[in-house]
Structure 1
Amino acid sequence: MRLACLLWLLFVAVYDFRQRRVPNWLVLAGAAVALAALALGMQPFGIDAFTALTGAAVGFGCLLLIYAIGFMGAGDVKFAGALGLWVGLPALLPIWVGASLLAGLHSALWLVLQRWPVFPRLALMLQGRSSAVIDIDGGASLKRKRIVPYAAYLAMATAVWMIWGRQS
């Protein structure tokens, strides 16, 4: 089951880095496998159903607030909920800290490269291709680019947690 989780994390990371979005089918697949592992007693990290469901609720709920103010995409929020099913509540804090540090480095590097375009290809890679349209004041639309692939950084931080963070 750990391999299934790692493969799911890899797919999410690659998809988010390339498209700056996480499709619903990918989130649902990960959540379904996590729920099946719980139901069959094959949960790879030794957590119980209450811990997993609490992790899903907190992961989804906390990032939903960030989404509501416009700083995050909906796919990131849904992925955090599904991720909570896999790792449970206790693991979410170190994973969020690691992912946020990576996302902060991504943003800082992108801002530096916007100001001083020494490596324009790197700046374009960090920026990504997609953007979302936000409706402001009931009519005027403003393009807001999704620069940071936060779900990808959550996936990377989770993989690190799986390998080094869990010394059992």
Structure 2
Amino acid sequence: MGLIFLIWLLVAAVNDALSRKCFNWIVISGALSAVFSLLMFPDSHPVSIGLLDSFFGAVAAFLVLLVFYRMKMMGAGDVKYALVLGLWVGWKLLLPIWGLSCIFAMAHGLVVRSNLKYFYAPALNWDDGTQKNNRRFIPYVTYLSMAAVIVLMLNK
């Protein structure tokens, strides 16, 4: 089940990096896979958590990121993705994943909003960081996925 989890993380990260959206099919497939893994194969779950820990992770992710969504700082796809990520990893691993993904997102925002973007890659066409047509400029699902992989590698 760990390979399915990694593929799901990869698909979500690449999709968000390219289109700045987390589609519902990604969220639904991740949620179904997580619940199926917990119920049918609890011994082969990637982080060996129980159903209650998984539920608390999902609820915590949803409630905390819902606040940011209501302040229009985050898209609904980011909130739904974090909920499913909470199902996969539980609340104990979700805390360091949140912290690391926030560091990635903050670094992204600082580079995009400053003139450093031209120093690092002058040939790329950088956005100025503003929202155009209700599109978010920070791919937070991508950073959640990257942080999840890093935290899981360091956790083993």
Normalising to structure 2: TM-score of the pair? 0.90
The SS at the match of 1:146 is coil
User: Who is 1:121 aligned against?
Assistant: 124
Q: Cα offset for 1:61?
A: 1.1
Q: Which protein has the bigger strand share? A: 1
Q: Cα offset for 1:37?
A: 0.4
List gaps (5 residues or longer) in structure 1. Answer: 133-144
- The C-alpha deviation readout for 1:85-134, integer Å capped at 9, x for no partner, is 00000011100010000000000000113x8855262524x8599741xx
Q: Following the alignment from structure 1 to structure 2, what is the Cα–Cα distance between the partners of residues 109 and 15?
A: 21
The SS at the match of 2:65 is helix
- The C-alpha deviation readout for 1:63-89, integer Å capped at 9, x for no partner, is 011000000000000000000000000
**C-alpha contact 2:111 2:117 (8 A) present in aligned 1:** no
Normalising to structure 1: TM-score of the pair? 0.84
Mean CA deviation greater in 85-94 or 36-45: 36-45
User: Who is 2:150 aligned against?
Assistant: 160
Alignment of 1:29 onto 2:29: yes
List gaps (5 residues or longer) in structure 2. Answer: none
Q: Following the alignment from structure 2 to structure 1, what is the Cα–Cα distance between the partners of residues 84 and 14?
A: 17
Amino acid at match of 1:159: V
How many percent identity over aligned positions? 35
Amino acid at match of 2:28: L
Equivalenced residue count is: 152
User: Who is 1:18 aligned against?
Assistant: 18
Q: Following the alignment from structure 1 to structure 2, what is the Cα–Cα distance between the partners of residues 130 and 7?
A: 30
Q: 1:37 to 1:130 in 2, by over 3 A?
A: farther
Q: Following the alignment from structure 1 to structure 2, what is the Cα–Cα distance between the partners of residues 129 and 12?
A: 21
User: Who is 1:137 aligned against?
Assistant: none
Aligned-residue Cα RMSD (Å) equals 2.1
Q: Following the alignment from structure 1 to structure 2, what is the Cα–Cα distance between the partners of residues 116 and 12?
A: 25
Q: Following the alignment from structure 2 to structure 1, what is the Cα–Cα distance between the partners of residues 117 and 141?
A: 27
Q: Following the alignment from structure 1 to structure 2, what is the Cα–Cα distance between the partners of residues 59 and 98?
A: 15
**C-alpha contact 2:57 2:87 (8 A) present in aligned 1:** yes
Structure (1 or 2) with the larger CA radius of gyration: 1
Q: Cα offset for 1:44?
A: 1.9
The SS at the match of 2:106 is helix
2:99 equivalent among 77, 97, 100: 97
Q: Which protein has the bigger helix share? A: 2
Runs of 4+ in 1 over 3 A off after TM superposition: 115-118, 126-131
User: Who is 2:81 aligned against?
Assistant: 79
Q: Following the alignment from structure 1 to structure 2, what is the Cα–Cα distance between the partners of residues 89 and 102?
A: 20
The SS at the match of 2:114 is helix
Amino acid at match of 1:157: A
Alignment of 1:67 onto 2:77: no
